[in-house]
Structure 1
Amino acid sequence: MRGVIERLSDEGLGVLRDGRKEILVPYTAPGDVVEVRKWRRKKKKLIATDFKVVEPSELRVEPKCPHFGRCGGCLLQHVPYREQLRFKSSKLSRYLRMNVEVMPSPVIYGHRNRIDAVISTKGVGFRRYGTWWDVVDIGECPVFGETSGRALKALREFIEDEGLTTYDIRKNEGFLRYVVIREGKFTGEVMVNLVTKEGKLPESFPDYFPFATSLYWSVNRSESDVSYGDVERFWGEPFIRERLDDVVYLIHPNSFFQTNSYQAVNLVRKVAELANGERILDLYSGVGTFGVYLARRGFIVEGVEINPFAVEMANQNARINDVEATFRVGSDKDVESLSDYDTVIVDPPRAGLHPKLIRKILRDKPERLIYVSCNPKTLAENISHLKDKYRIESAVGLDMFPHTPHVEAVVELKRFET
């Protein structure tokens, strides 16, 4: 099948149309002439697996990463950044049925503060696009920056010198499984977390990473393909720090933090700009990214988060910043009255708000909601259930994830006057 790529799908794949049939072609751009020889079906969609670009689009630019087109990490490096922003703005605007501008990332390479590299019999790197078993061996990740090259080089030397086995996911064999590299982009602090199966880690491990502020060994005792585990031991500092404006956050191997520090500054500023009143409820509060930042600006903040470890980290972040914010363990569906708060902030997982929480919002009618979302589809669905009581006051996109199809949104919802 041969034809012209019409547009990008929401997932960032080129759309090739043949009558009523659509085939999604990875790593293509609108205007590319492609020839597709094979495809597979995935969740009612047809994804090309054997194809070539016969005539490249004038839109294309040269990707910075030599692994682009094989690695599953970035899908859009071949698309000019201005077009990436236009694509994301169009997607958000379509879902929210209004014009939504997307704020560009201040940095589009070297912006990621975390990468999870697979250690396997196929190499050290990232999953090959479309597979769960294959790995693209990499030397450095341009979206993370030069520290990735330094850490991966040190890891390979450690593996070779100590004769360590790497993981075969199909056989569940081998010792080393993942290396997670994290960096405070505004502090320069580096964390390296080696994730293994059960076994013995050579005592020489820390000698290979003298540049790391914090070095961890974690054990994944399950067959699950995850890049975290039970902390076995650490060297150096127990945390690294990141700074967003005047707020310092502690980062642990098992805690979540926004992966683009440069844009995270704009994200917390935007939420602070929209917050109103005195009392703030921060739902899905995580490590207190929004809550601690807002408390630093004089708001009285309560945070609710289902993960006990994240709550512990959030309260530590409140203490080290000397702010009035308290965080507790709780589920979104178990929150009591929302009417005591002037502003409620929600930053749910991709699945969106729990239906019980939506019902409580409609019942208690807090004056202002700030909805932070990385999933335009569930964001739009949730807002549609609130439309009888709330209107969209403002909406903006933030490009937290350059060279991927993902986009963050911040929507301000205000209760209709009664």
Structure 2
Amino acid sequence: MRGVVERLDNEGLGVVRLGKKEVHVPFTAPGDEVEIRRWRKRKRTLVATDFEVITPSPMRTEPKCPHFGICGGCLLQHIPYGEQVRFKSDKLSRILGFDVDVVPSPVIYGHRNRIDVVISTKGVGFRRRGTWWDAVDIEWCPVFGDSSRKVLRSLRDFIEDFKPSLYEIRRNEGFLRYIVIREGKFTGELMVNLVTSEGSLPGEFPGYFDYATAVYWSVNRTKSDVSYGDVERFWGSEFIREKLDDVTYLIHPNSFFQTNSHQAVNLVRRVAELVEGERVLDLYSGVGTFGIYLAKRGFSVEGIEANPFAVEMANKNARLNGVEATFTVGEDRNVENLSKYDTVIVDPPRAGLHPRLIRKILKDKPQSIVYVSCNPKTLRANLDELVGAYSLDAAVGLDMFPHTPHVETVVKLKLKV
């Protein structure tokens, strides 16, 4: 059956109307004429699995990655970047119910500071879109940059020389599972983290990556298909560093950091512009990305984070930068006395704010809330609960994730008088 893509849905799939049905087609653009031969139902959405673009839309641009269209990493490389930003602004405005401008990423290739590369019997690369068992073999990743080519070439040399077993996820067998590459985009420091099953790693392994700042070996002792594990040992530096303006952050294999350093600079600047008063609570503080940046600018900062290792890293980062910011382990639902802070920063996971935290915000009534969100749907739901006591003071989107449908949002709420 043939049809024309009318628009992109919130997930970046093209929407084609076939009679009374709407079929959502990946890797298409508005104006594409497509032939759809097969689809499957995913939740309540029909998603095309066998299709062909018959007449391309004039909107299309040439993807930079040769694996685009089969790799599950990028979905929108064929859409001109200006149109991607417009799509994300429209998406946020539609979901949130008010107009939101999106700040473009300063860099749209070579911007990612982390990629998690599958090592499997199917190939060394990323999961094939729509599968959990298959992989697309790649030589490099354009959204990470040229150093990925060097690392993957070294990995293949190691595999060829020592012939370790590669992971087969369906049977939970094999030694090599992932290689995670992280790079300080403003420092040039490079980390290579090999994630394996339990076993013996040849002593020659780190020599294949003698150009890296830090080389790690981590062991995943579970059946879970995850790209982290217990650190077995490391060579070189224990951390790599990244800089956002005048703040330096230590990066460890098991710590989270915003994946687009170039746009993360704009994110921390924007949050700093929105903070009011002197006393700031940095909730879901992670490694101190916001808190330390604010402390460097004279704010009195306390951070709370559920992950003990992240808290340890945040306090290391505070000492490294010579700031007086205190980070402690705690749960969002258990925070007390929010009224003593002038501004509360929240950067929750995709599920949004815990209901108990929302009740405490409404009870304690801090003067200002800066909400950083990676999920506009849960942001909208949380705003609906807070709107009785708070008014919207500012909102902006930041494109942290070029070539994907995802977008970060920063919203400032002020207590109504």
TM-score by length of 2: 0.99
CA distance in 2, matches of 1:51, 1:209: 41
Which position in structure 1 is the counterpart of 2:397? 397
Alignment of 1:9-408 (within 5 A): 9-408=9-408
Read off the aligned partner of 2:74 and give its amino acid letter: C
SS at match of 1:272: helix
Post-superposition CA distance 1:307-363 (Å, at most 9, x none): 000000000000110101000000110101100000000000000000000010111
Following superposition, the deviation at residue 43 of structure 1 comes to: 1.4
SS at match of 2:156: helix
Read off the aligned partner of 1:377 and give its amino acid letter: K
Post-superposition CA distance 1:283-311 (Å, at most 9, x none): 00000000000000000000000000000
Following superposition, the deviation at residue 275 of structure 1 comes to: 0.5
Post-superposition CA distance 1:64-123 (Å, at most 9, x none): 000000000000000000000000000111122111110000000000000000000011
Which position in structure 2 is the counterpart of 1:413? 413
CA distance in 1, matches of 2:151, 2:280: 40
Following superposition, the deviation at residue 20 of structure 1 comes to: 3.2
Q: How many residues align?
A: 417
CA distance in 2, matches of 1:34, 1:304: 50
CA distance in 2, matches of 1:97, 1:50: 35
CA distance in 2, matches of 1:315, 1:368: 25
CA distance in 2, matches of 1:105, 1:347: 20
- What is the CA RMSD across the aligned residues, in angstroms? 0.6
Q: For structure 1, which runs of at least 5 residues remain unmatched after alignment?
A: none
CA distance in 1, matches of 2:404, 2:321: 33
Post-superposition CA distance 1:200-257 (Å, at most 9, x none): 0000001100111000000000010000000001000000000000000000000000
Q: What fraction of aligned residue pairs are identical, expressed as a percent?
A: 73
TM-score by length of 1: 0.99
CA distance in 2, matches of 1:381, 1:76: 27
SS at match of 2:125: strand
SS at match of 2:319: helix
CA distance in 1, matches of 2:188, 2:114: 13
Read off the aligned partner of 1:411 and give its amino acid letter: V
Q: For structure 2, which runs of at least 5 residues remain unmatched after alignment?
A: none
Following superposition, the deviation at residue 19 of structure 1 comes to: 3.3
SS at match of 2:194: strand
- Runs of 4 or more consecutive aligned structure 1 residues displaced over 3 Å after TM superposition: none
